[in-house]
Amino acid sequence: MRRILFICCVLILFGTTAHAQKNKPWTEWSQKEAEKVLNDSAWGQTQTEGGGGSEQPSQTSAITSTTAAKERNATNVKAAATSAESGETKAPAPSLHLRVRFMSAKPIRAAFVRMLELQGTPAEKVAQVKPFVDYDFSNYVVVTVNMDGNDRGRMGAIIQELAKTDSAALKTVTYLERKDGKRLELMEYRAPVNDGLGAKFVFARNLNGTPFLDANSGEVRFVTELGKLLKISRRFKVSEMMYDGKLEY
């Protein structure tokens, strides 16, 4: 009974957090609220591969470092408890967290800037990036992929591949797909640079002259792959992508 009550309380808490994010100005979001928008929301998801938590990530950014640190601390506590019981020290299993986000959705951009503020970025630098929140993405859809984790070998290989691949190589394996099977093909790919956003996958916003998504689209799936090295497939519920009375994607 206690376990059931605990689960119910957790579900209520998450529901309250999601409601607060959509009804509170982004400039007032807490760190937890901003992180949830980025990594576990209608516009941002995490695809985790491997087991265990993460050590200090070899590639991180303002939008993933705090989450990675929390996972690392939780793993350390668990490892310490296991070590105390067994008398042995067991290293955490290699893991990789792929952060897939609709950067063209205003909530993701707002959460990115809010995390910069909360992490103590100098005010003048925050002021420079704040206009990014209201940037006009009326003609494009941009999905970004960032990562963190303790699987350093695999992460390094993926980073190298992301740096050298191009739009031509990704066109046949990268797309946005609606529930009815209609797809948007990749228009342009931009390799990661030192901006904290990760690799960028650009699509046209319209298909046959009309917006690709509307309130009745059901869901949208982002798919891409890098040969045998990596395959990403994440589904997003379109009905949950409303923000300030507008469909954001």
Model confidence over 85-111: pLDDT tens digits? 555 667 678 899 999 999 999 999 999
* Residues facing residue 142 across a β-bridge: 202
- Predicted local confidence at residue 122, as pLDDT: 95
Q: Across the strands, what pairs with 40?
A: none
| Run means of pLDDT, 10 residues per run, the chain, 249 residues | 42 43 86 97 95 41 43 48 54 90 98 97 95 96 96 94 96 96 97 95 96 95 95 97 95
HSE (side-chain half, CA atoms, 13 Å) at 129: 18
What pTM was computed for the model? 0.79
Confidence at residue 48, expressed as pLDDT on a 0 to 100 scale: 94
Whether the Cβ atoms of residue 186 and residue 201 lie closer than 8 Å to each other: yes
Place of tokens 């299993």: 93
Summarize pLDDT for 5-40 with one digit per residue, the tens: 444 443 334 444 444 456 799 999 999 999 999 999
Give the integer Cα–Cα distance in Å for 243 and 37.
12
How far is residue 55's CA from residue 235's CA, in Å, rounded to a whole number? 27
Phi, psi at 69, each rounded to 5°: -65, -40
pLDDT of residue 50: 85
